[in-house]
Amino acid sequence: MNFENFRADLESNLNSNAEFELIEFHYLHYCFGNGVLAYRIKGRIHKFVYDGRDNILTWLISKEHQKYSDAKLTLYCKFSGLIINEEELLKGIKNSVSIK
């Protein structure tokens, strides 16, 4: 799976479960397949950073109602590979509401 396919799967899961706004999308297929995705979901920024060389996906979440350019993002979770199942995604979105 490449980062573009990951984005499609992620947005498919989000469409059926939460309202979201795409803030940033970068995919560098020529650079190990690295990518960056950022969404605003329920007033928080959720940023996914993929390091294709090490095959690690990092999920970062901001505090509520921050501007993207000034947001202080905190590590929520790291995954090996580009697979987040729907249950983990929903859990992360639900848990982010309680992050302060």
Q: What is the pLDDT of residues 7-49, one digit of tens each?
A: 888 888 888 778 899 999 998 877 788 999 999 988 899 999 9
- What is the arrangement of strands in the sheet containing 73-80, beginning at the earlier edge strand? 20-28, 34-41, 44-51, 56-62, 73-80
Is it the case that residue 94 has pLDDT exceeding 90?
no
pTM given for the model: 0.85
Domain span at residue 36 reads: 3-91
**In a domain? residue 96:** no
| Residue 18 domain-assigned (yes or no) | yes
Whether residue 53 lies inside any domain: the answer is: yes
99: its two tokens: 């992050």
Q: Say how many domains are in the chain.
A: 1
Tell whether 100 is covered by a domain: no
In a domain, 79, yes or no: yes
* 87 within some domain: yes
pLDDT value of position 100: 44
